[in-house]
Amino acid sequence: MATIFSHPAIAIGLFPWFRDVRNSKAIMITGLLLTAAPDLDVIGLRLGIPYEHMLGHRGLTHSLFFAAAIAALLTALFWLAQKMKAWAVWLYLFLSMASHGVLDALTNGGLGVAFFAPFHNERYFFPYRPIEVSTLSIRHFFESQGAGVLLNELTYIWPPCLAVLLIGYFWQKTI
């Protein structure tokens, strides 16, 4: 998995592209949180749920269905409170959350991502996997692995997200 420090880069990069939602700090913060939320499934490991189970790590919470459902639920709540364009809010939140599985499928470790859960639990990786997988152990991350993983993410995650951010920002200035 990518680290909690780099998953939010996607939501940051996408924000300028969503004119209708970029004035809402609540939606921006929600998008940032959704980029890391799928990894809450690691709680299941402590409860005895096997990694490869649909409810295990990189299972249901990393799926496109789950991202769509959570985005729909949150969009309904935001729409009731702020009357914004629902499709724009949903798309931003969906892309933010779905990006988690995409980044994990680009890593060089783990069992893959169950993109199509709950309909199918097969795990997938992309053919190109440049992102160094991070450990699930916070202690191990800070004791030995962290610097290398973060340097890898600064190379492979942040520059494309920065490019998307800048292109979106300048594109919005021209329209």
pLDDT tens, residue by residue, 17-49: 998 787 889 999 999 999 999 999 999 999 999
CA-to-CA separations, 76 to 5, 15, 86, 88, in angstroms, rounded: 28, 19, 8, 12
Respond yes or no on whether the N-terminal peptide bond of residue 130 is cis (omega within 30° of 0).
Answer: no
Question: Taking residues 96-124, what's their average pLDDT?
Answer: 97
Q: What angle do CA 94, 111, 138 make, to 5 degrees?
A: 80
β-bridge mates for residue 124, sequence order: 113
pLDDT per residue as tens digits for the range 60-70: 999 999 999 99
pLDDT class of 174 with cuts at 50, 70, 90: confident
Q: What is the pTM of this model?
A: 0.92
pLDDT per residue as tens digits for the range 149-168: 899 999 999 999 999 999 99
Q: Is the pLDDT of residue 146 over 90?
A: no
| pLDDT for the residue 136 | 67
Rounded CA-CA distance 115/151 in Å is: 27
Q: Is 167 left (phi over 0), alpha (psi -120 to 50) or beta?
A: alpha
pLDDT class of 126 with cuts at 50, 70, 90: very high
Closest C-alpha among 16, 1, 9 to residue 154: 9
The position carrying tokens 């939501």 is 11
The position carrying tokens 């680009």 is 106
| pLDDT for the residue 117 | 98
**pLDDT over 70 for what percent of the chain?**
96
CB 135 within 8 A of CB 141: yes
Rounded CA-CA distance 89/73 in Å is: 11
CB 32 within 8 A of CB 13: no
